Amino acid sequence: MNQKIIHSESIAETKAFGASCARSAQRIWALTGNLGAGKTTFAQGFIAEHGIASPVLSPTFTIFRVYPLPQGRRLYHVDLYRLESESELINLGLKDILSDQRNIVLIEWAEKALHLIPREAIWLTFEHELPHGQVRITQSGVL
Ligand SMILES: Nc1ncnc2c1ncn2[C@@H]1O[C@H](COP(=O)(O)OP(=O)(O)OP(=O)(O)O)[C@@H](O)[C@H]1O
Ligand SMILES: [Mg+2]
């Protein structure tokens, strides 16, 4: 398995990394790591790169947001932080969302749905990097 480490010094760098990921062909992005380490910031850059102009707020209280893309495709931004049970996951229909090849899916706190995340997913782990306050992003998966 390939692993790559990115050091981000700023919000802008994390967004730019999100934008570069949005230009890749990978469909499922499993985001994990520390509270407040930049998962939503990454998602903002990723979503903006798809030409979606409206501000992307943290979806923490809404579980997921859907953005229409050209050709009937969809971009899902899922945040499982507040997920309380496995049965909630089933009700959300996350399995079907992930298996539909037309969908691009970003999932914050993806480890809460570990058994649903396909092997093709790219995992990004966000961690605060002391002492300078940067963020370290570790990428693993089939790249
Ligand atoms: N290099 C950096 N990359 C991203 N965010 C940074 C960076 N440096 C500082 N920040 C700040 O850290 C915070 C990251 O918040 P963000 O909501 O993106 O994290 P999160 O991982 O989604 O949190 P949560 O676990 O609550 O979902 C923001 O307030 C941002 O301004
Ligand atoms: Mg977040």
Domain boundaries along the sequence of the chain: 2-141
The confidence score (pLDDT) of residue 57 equals: 66
Dist. CA 60 → ligand 2 center (Å): 6
User: Distance from CA of residue 5 to its chain's centroid?
Assistant: 16
Residue 143 has pLDDT above 50, yes or no: no
Between 3 and 15, the higher pLDDT residue: 15
Dist. CA 68 → ligand 2 center (Å): 21
Q: Which two tokens stand for residue 6?
A: 């990115």
Ligand 2 is an ion; its neighbours by CB within 5 Å are 39-40, 58, 108
The confidence score (pLDDT) of residue 55 equals: 63
Percentage of residues in the chain with pLDDT exceeding 70?
Answer: 93
Decide: 120 and 28 in contact? Cβ < 8 Å: yes
In 11-39, which positions are buried (b, 16+ CB within 10 angstroms) versus exposed (e)? eebbbebbbebbeeeebbbbbbbeeebbb
Compute the residue count for the chain.
143
pLDDT digits (tens, 9 = 90+) for 87-125: 888 888 899 999 999 999 999 999 999 999 999 999 999
**Residue 88: in which H helix or E strand, if any?**
helix 86-92
Tell me whether the omega of the peptide bond preceding residue 68 falls within 30 degrees of 0, making it cis: no
Least confident window among 1-5, 13-17, 31-35: 1-5
Residue 38 has pLDDT above 80, yes or no: yes
pTM of the model: 0.93
Could you please state the CATH topology (level 3) that the domain comprising 2-141 is classified under.
Rossmann fold (3.40.50)
